[in-house]
Amino acid sequence: MVDKQPNLVSGLQLWQWRNAAIKAAIATDVSSSEVDWLLQEVAGLDRLALRLESFKDSYAIALKLPLEDLEHLWQRRLNDRLPVQYIAGVTPWRQFQIAVSNAVLIPRPETEYLIDLAVAASLANPLLQQGHWADLGTGSGAIALGLADVFRTATIHAVDCSSDALAIARANALNSGLADRIRFYQGSWWEPLELLKGQFSGMVSNPPYIPTSTVSTLQPEVVDHEPHLALDGGADGLDCIRHLIDISPAYLRPGGVWLIEMMAGQADAVREMLLNQGSYCNEVEIHADLAGIERFAVARVLLNRYK
Ligand SMILES: C[S@@+](CC[C@H](N)C(=O)[O-])C[C@H]1O[C@@H](n2cnc3c(N)ncnc32)[C@H](O)[C@@H]1O
């Protein structure tokens, strides 16, 4: 989407476009702050320049795409409910600027917390901060980048079944300067990591967890534009989580960390499945997001059940 040629517009032209875009956003129930976020991304304007409208006096502003294309995409935002992150081709996540396209789920702010939970879970045993970590269902690669950043001596193994998603994830690793510590694999969950069975310090996953019948009821920004492969977790939403609970003990070392994001309302079922599986310690941790909703589960593989 991003054109490398400079697309010059005058500050006045852009100011007029912004005013019209904000008016249209308000009329169609889209947050008007998205207009300024988009202008920061595609026009390189900063928040102060937008707030003071000082850019209006600029002789020429270089856009990443022609103004007509921006207008066309903005109309798609309003009419087709295309997420603004897909228009900009990028979204902030932790300290990273993550490239996104409709081949990948837009990484959500709440998912950032998985990285802090991985660090917290590894504090009890510093050895867990080294060795191999897996990001299963990597999508844009956001979690893999986060893990590579906090576990500086670990190797991160990022898996996805979508080759289009992996292309984006690889680009994000290169852009973030972390590509030398992240390996990418196409395949299903642990399958490509067979050779490292029993050696992983931890695994992190934000798997698809929406019940199939609920997917069509999600807001149009999600159901019409984000990949259903990233959303649909089967009849009860727990198909992927169930699989990850069953198979992960064979890949994690004794005491290895099992950490996932889940949907509101799934915590009790996930805790029960972990306890019944027989390969995890009894202290399953459930953590809430900033809204107080239980969204994350942490478990550890039993020391005496090493396969
Ligand atoms: C909810 S998205 C999470 C993406 C990213 N990790 C994030 O947190 O933003 C789930 C990801 O799992 C991938 N996926 C779905 N089924 C899979 C499977 N069987 N094996 C590996 N990845 C799978 C999807 O392609 C998608 O990228």
* d(C-alpha 142, C-alpha 111), whole Å: 9
pLDDT tens per residue across span 5-17? 689 999 999 999 9
| Complex-level ipTM | 0.99
Residue 97 near residue 140, CB atoms below 8 Å: no
Domain coordinates in residue numbering, the chain:
7-88, 103-305
Q: Of 3.40.50.2300, 3.40.190.10, 3.20.20.80, 3.40.50.150, which CATH number belongs to 103-305?
A: 3.40.50.150
| Ligand 1 neighbourhood includes 36 CB (under 6 angstroms) | no
Atom of ligand 1 nearest to the CA of 162: 25
pLDDT tens per residue across span 192-221? 999 999 999 999 999 999 999 999 999 999
Atom of ligand 1 nearest to the CA of 106: 9
* d(C-alpha 2, C-alpha 73), whole Å: 12
Residue 73 near residue 25, CB atoms below 8 Å: no
| Ligand 1 neighbourhood includes 146 CB (under 6 angstroms) | no
- Residues of the chain above pLDDT 90, percent: 89
Whole-model pTM?
Answer: 0.94
Residues annotated within a binding site for S-adenosyl-L-methionine: 137-141, 160, 189, 206
Nearest C-alpha to atom 7 of ligand 1 is from which residue?
107
Q: Which of 90, 161, 223, 260 to mutate to test the pocket of ligand 1 (most atoms within 8 A of CB)?
A: 161
pLDDT tens per residue across span 253-298? 999 999 999 999 999 999 999 999 999 999 999 999 999 999 999 9
Strand-pair partners of 157: 134, 183
Instruction: Indicate the pLDDT class of residue 126, thresholds 50, 70 and 90.
Output: confident
Between the CA of 201 and the centroid of ligand 1 the distance, in Å, is 20
pLDDT tens per residue across span 221-234? 999 999 999 999 99
| Ligand 1 neighbourhood includes 140 CB (under 6 angstroms) | yes
